[in-house]
Amino acid sequence: MSSVPSAPRPITFGVQCSSPGSATSKSWAELARKVEDLGFVRLTVSDHLDEQLAPVPALMAAATATSRLRIGSLVFCNDYRHPAMLAKEAATLDLLSDGRLDFGIGAGWMSADYERAGIPMDSAGERIDRLEEAVQVILGLFSEGPCNFLGEHYRIDGLSGLPKPRQAPHPPLFIGGGGKRVLQLAARYANIIGLNPKLTAGVIDSSVGADATEAATDRKLAWIAQAAGPRFAELEIQVRTQIVIVTNERHAVAESLASGFGLTAEEALKTPHALAGTCEQIVEDLLYRRERFGITSVGVDMDAIESLGPVISALDGR
């Protein structure tokens, strides 16, 4: 008897709401409810030292204003907090949101944060080493019983890690990146893996284009599959879509994107990090990317909330 193939994971959307302008408690709650009502699955906040909202209080306020919306850190910078403190904050967020936290953590990449705050920005290799230890500490603190850990960067001696998170065994762990080392770290530990262009320069500029192509995405997925082994099929693959333009002028937009990122127009249309076209064309692109890359989670910026509403409706849970 032939086995029945499993249904593909539905495509879901998240909104990065780190910089909502002159936010008030009322406007922030209204934004969270709007995101929920339009069909987005999660609201995320990043972790930078500029004008953006601080992630912990912002995420808690968003959870309080909604009933289904998941909240997510995209992502906590490991270098800004000791992992024991971050584990406690994350567990509390998950507990008080009734188990709606997606916990994202990264090695840190924005050079301006480090420079302006006087935080030493070590080499990428050392930051990734420290991130891996931090992930081990945090997962240990999320688990039952006391945590003991002795590494090069952190030491934990019998800390119980209370309160424990609501979700068992822990909130979904999100780690994203563009380089081989961090993506293979994600493959070993994370539940959700974000595919990003490699940000070697510490900024997002035209230099990222070459690492945002279909070929680059294939390469990253191969690294992940190699390190994940049998658990690869269980992973949720996410992509941050930096540009969303609903338009009848698909090819004109592609030409504009191509010139800005050093790509051909065809490459610009096929990159998983941009969506351009009519609602129907964008739906086709999303379904193609799920089939081609296994991408089922799409993160967008606040300026795409309204334009993606019809796309979410057209997908109708697919």
DSSP secondary structure, 259-303, as one string? HHHT--HHHHHH-TTEEEE-HHHHHHHHHHHHHHH-EEEEEEEGG
Task: Give the pLDDT score at 198.
Answer: 79
Render pLDDT for 141-196 as a digit per residue (tens, 0 to 9): 999 989 999 999 999 999 999 999 999 999 999 999 999 999 999 999 999 999 99
List every span in the chain annotated with CATH 3.20.20.30: 9-171
pLDDT reported for residue 1: 39
Distances (CA, A) of 241 to 83, 196, 273: 29, 9, 4
Residue pair 46/74 in contact (Cβ under 8 Å)? The answer is yes
CATH topology assigned to domain 9-171? TIM Barrel (3.20.20)
Separation between Cα atoms, residue 160 and residue 142, nearest integer Å: 9
As a whole number of angstroms, the distance between CA 318 and CA 310 comes to 14
Half-sphere exposure of 208 (CA within 13 A, CB side): 22
Q: What is the pLDDT of residue 47?
A: 96
Which segments in the chain show pLDDT lower than 50? 1-4
Note the pLDDT of residue 2: 42
Task: Please report the pLDDT score of residue 288 as a whole number.
Answer: 97
Which pLDDT belongs to residue 3? 47
DSSP 75: -
The first and second tokens of residue 295, run together, are: 């991408």
**Residue 311: per-residue pLDDT:** 95
Report DSSP letters for 256-271, one per residue: HHHHHHT--HHHHHH-
Task: State the pLDDT at residue 7.
Answer: 79
